[in-house]
Amino acid sequence: MTAKIWDVIVVGAGLSGLSAAHLLRKKEANLGILILEGKDRVGGRTLTTDIPAANGVDRWDVGGQWVGSTQTHIMELIKELGLEVYPQFNTGRKVHHMGGPGGKIRTYRTSIPALSPLTLLDLTQLIRKIDKLCATVCVQDPSKTPNATELDSMTLHSYIEKHSWTAELKEEMALSSRSVFGMEPSQMSFLFFLMYAAAAGGLLPLLESSAGSAQEFKVKGGTQQLSERLAERVGLQDVRLGSAVTAIWQEAESARVMTATGTFSCRAVIVTCPPHLAAKIQYHPALPSQREFLTQNMPMGHMLKFIITYQTAFWREKGFSGEIVAGSSTDCPFCVTFDATSPGGNAALVGFIAGQQASQWSSKEEYQLQMVHSGCAGSKGKVTCR
């Protein structure tokens, strides 16, 4: 019996892979598309799970969760799939605690924290410089950006060191890098940072939860639904879970894609898994040297996300938004929290331990995380970490 030859094999059943398959199927309904996924589920970096709450079990995203109106592709997909969004709650005072355990705790209501006059001046000039550079970036192909080689040869850390004056702003920018990318500024190409900020519409929209910003909306029922519904439209029978790809052999007219349990032939392959996983695949012939170099020099971010449910949203009752920005320390390693109260009214906070702290705390036991929660929040909420 002749083995089936697929038109396209997609490696990875996250949003990228399933979106690619969906778009191909919309252009040509009869295409034979096979999706191979190493995990036992679809969704990749999005994962929605049930967590006990005040009014019974509710659903929260323990993976990626926010979308914004400027992210036109995902917003169109949400509409196409019949899903709804709701705004990130940000009404009330925000808490700002930098400078370590002995640092002054400030509150503020604006987009920008309550910084000293000199630091505000420093921030204003840094935003102006970064946004000016963002306007020159070619988001579709960053290599076409003017002075791309120079910008890529420096890190975000080296740029901040050169163009900011105050230690307070340097600490703020380091925290922003951790909370958005899960990386220290010294780990990230400045060109990559500019590309990312340019795609968001500038530096502040990348960091904020106001209208038009990256943390503007959440998806009712969770973001993993996007992948689940895409998989249904592409055809669940053609999505094979637990099928991590180990090798791809390209031949003159076709390609062979190998997993631990089988080999599949196709006319084209789309690899959509993250760079560090794509690098583990054996390619024949080998990938171009520039691609290999990129993969070797693109570290993955480290981020632990936690969700704490409460009986009531006590912070709202006291006039707070639930947003805390904190300089990580030994006793309290998180960098930022937000209100995570569900559409059904179950009170919760979501927060992140990121960068070097995430690497250190990834090996902590659950009871140690609960001790940190008690020390930082002074309450008895339920802690769920992923």
Q: Is the pLDDT of residue 375 over 90?
A: no
**Contact, 338 vs 88, CB < 8 A?**
yes
The amino acid at residue 232 is: E
Confidence (pLDDT) at 330: 66
Lowest mean pLDDT segment, chosen from 70-79, 166-175, 320-329: 320-329
What is the spatial distance between Cα 65 and Cα 287, in angstroms, rounded to a whole number? 33
Burial label, 132 (beta-carbon count in 10 A; 0-12, 13-18, 19+): exposed
CATH 3.90.660.10 residue spans of the chain: 66-89+302-385
Q: With b meaning 16 or more CB within 10 Å and e meaning fewer, what string describes 62-96? A: bbbbbbbebbeebbebbeebebebeebbbebbbbb
The neighbouring-strand residues paired with 382 are: 309
How would CATH label the architecture of 5-42+224-296? Answer: 3-Layer(bba) Sandwich (3.50)
Is the pLDDT reported for residue 343 higher than 70?
Answer: yes
With the C-alpha atoms ordered 174, 180, 182, 185, is the resulting torsion angle positive or negative?
A: negative
CATH 3.50.50.60 region(s) of the chain? 5-42+224-296
What distances in angstroms separate CA 291 from CA 54, 278, 279, 283, 287, one per listed residue? Answer: 49, 11, 10, 12, 6
Q: For residue range 87-134, what is the model confidence (pLDDT) as tens digits?
A: 999 999 999 988 777 788 899 998 888 788 999 999 999 999 999 999
Helix (H, G, I), strand (E, B) or coil at 192: helix
Global pTM?
A: 0.88
The pLDDT of residue 113 is 83
Share of the chain above pLDDT 90, in %: 74
66-89+302-385 fold: Polyamine Oxidase; Chain A, domain 2 (3.90.660)
Q: How far apart are CA 218 and CA 85, in angstroms?
A: 5
Tokens 């109106």 found at? 69
Q: How confident is the model at residue 356 (pLDDT cuts 50, 70, 90)?
A: confident
Spatial CA neighbour of 357 closest among 336, 379, 377, 383: 336
Output the pLDDT for position 339. Answer: 98
Q: Measured between alpha carbons, how far is residue 25 from residues 130, 235, 240 in Å?
A: 40, 10, 17
Listed in order, the ranges of the chain carrying CATH 1.10.405.10 are 115-207
- Residues in the chain, total: 386
CA distance 321 to 314: 10
We find that the CATH architecture of domain 115-207 is: Orthogonal Bundle (1.10)
Higher pLDDT, 87 or 374: 87
Nearest-angstrom CA–CA distance, 103 and 273? 41
pLDDT above 70 coverage of the chain, percent: 93
Instruction: Compute the distance between CA of residue 73 and CA of residue 364 in angstroms, rounded to an integer.
Output: 38
